[in-house]
Amino acid sequence: MALEDAKNQVDEAFTRQDLRGLSYENAFGGATSFLRRRYTKDLSGVDIAVTGIPFDQAVTHRPGTRFGPRAIREASCLQPFDKPYGWSFNALEEFAVVDYGDMPFDYANVPEVPNRIKAHISNILEAGATPVTLGGDHFITLPILRAIAARHGPIGLIQFDAHSDTWADDDPDRIDHGTFLYKAVREGLVNPVRSVSVGIRTDNPDTLGVTILDAPSVHQDGVPATLKRIREVVGAGPVYVTFDIDALDPAFAPGTGTPVWGGLASWQAAALLRGLQGIDFVGGDIVEVSPPYDTTGATAIAGAHVATDLICLAAARLRG
C-alpha cells in the first residue's frame, strides 16, 4: 500500500482530502507542509493546528529564526510515513491535524506583532483546535501565552531552555526574547508555582519562583527522576510547553542564536517529552531554530521531532 501510494501521491499539502492518516509522498519532493498535513485556514473539525510565526526581531545575538518554520516543515518530510515513534497510539491516524500556515505580518511594523500573534493563536483556540507553533524567536511565546491565558486563566509552564528568560523588563513596549517569562509571570499569565524550566545552564538568580532543573541536574539525576519532579511541580491543570532548541547541546542543535555548551542530548529531550504524556496540554511551541547556522539541517530535524511530540501530547490529552 505504501509503495503504491508513494508512486501516486504528490503535493499532499494541497491535494490530500482526509485530515487524518499517514502520507507516503516522496520525502524529497512536493510541497513541504508540516508532516504533509493539508494547508488550510478552515479549522472546522480540526483537532490540532500547526502554525508558523517567522519572527526574529527580538534576538540578542544571531538572527535567522525567521527561517525556522520553513526549515522545520522541510525537515518534517522525513517523518510522515510511520506513526510517531515512542507513542502507544498514532496521533496522525486518530486526530485531524492540519498546517494552518504562517502568520502574516508587516516585518517593518514590529510594535504591532505582539497583538497579531495573540489574535492569530486566539483564532485557533476559538475554533476548538490545539495550537502547536513553529518559531521564530522566543519572544513569540509571550503573546501566545496571552491568548492561552485568556481562555484558561493562569497556566503551568514547562520550559526547555538554556536560559531562564526571566531577566527583569518592566517596559511593556520592549520586545525581547530573553524576557518573555518575566513578563508572563508579572502579567499573571503563568503561575510560577506550577512552572518549571529544564536544561538551564546560564546564571540568572531571579527565577520569580519558577522551579529550575538545570542541565547538570538532568544529567546527574536522569530522565525518570526529572520527569517525576516536573510532574510534581506542574500538578493538575492546564500546561503549556515551550521548547527553545538551545535546550539541546550545540552538538545536537548548532543552528540557534545563543548556543550554550553542556546541554541536553536529543535522546534526553525525546524521553522527557514522551514522558509528559497525560499532562493537561493546552498548547506548545518550538522556537529559536536558526537554519543559517547549521548547514547539516540537524537543528531543523530536531525541531521537527519536537513539534511532532508536541502534537502527540495534544493528542494524548484529547484521548482523555
Structural domain spans, the chain: 2-319
Is 285 annotated as ligand-binding?
no
Q: Is 177 annotated as a binding residue?
A: no
Residue 82 labelled as part of a binding site: no
163 annotated ligand binder: yes
Question: pLDDT tens digits for 273-283?
Answer: 999 999 999 99
Give the per-residue pLDDT at 205: 84
User: What's the average model confidence in pLDDT over 36-40?
Assistant: 98
Task: Tell me the C-alpha distance between 249 and 109, whole Å.
Answer: 34
Q: What average pLDDT score do residues 275-297 get? A: 98
The mean pLDDT value of the chain amounts to 96
Tens digits of per-residue pLDDT, 167-225? 999 998 999 999 999 999 999 999 999 999 999 999 988 899 999 999 999 999 999 99
246 is known to lie in a ligand binding site: yes
Q: Is the pLDDT reported for residue 76 higher than 90? A: yes
Instruction: Indicate the SS3 state at residue 143.
Output: helix
- The more confident residue out of 132 and 170 is 132
- The C-alpha cell that represents 86 in the structure block: 515512542
Which residues fall within 8 angstroms of residue 218, CB to CB, at 6 or more apart?
Answer: 198, 199, 226, 264, 268, 272
Quickly name the fold that domain 2-319 has.
Arginase; Chain A (3.40.800)
pLDDT given at position 7: 82
CA proximity to 134, closest of 75, 184, 86 = 75
Closest CA to 158 of 260, 270, 312, 284: 284
pLDDT at 99 over 80: yes
228-269: per-residue pLDDT in tens? 999 999 999 999 999 999 999 999 999 999 999 999 999 999
Q: Is 138 annotated as a binding residue?
A: yes
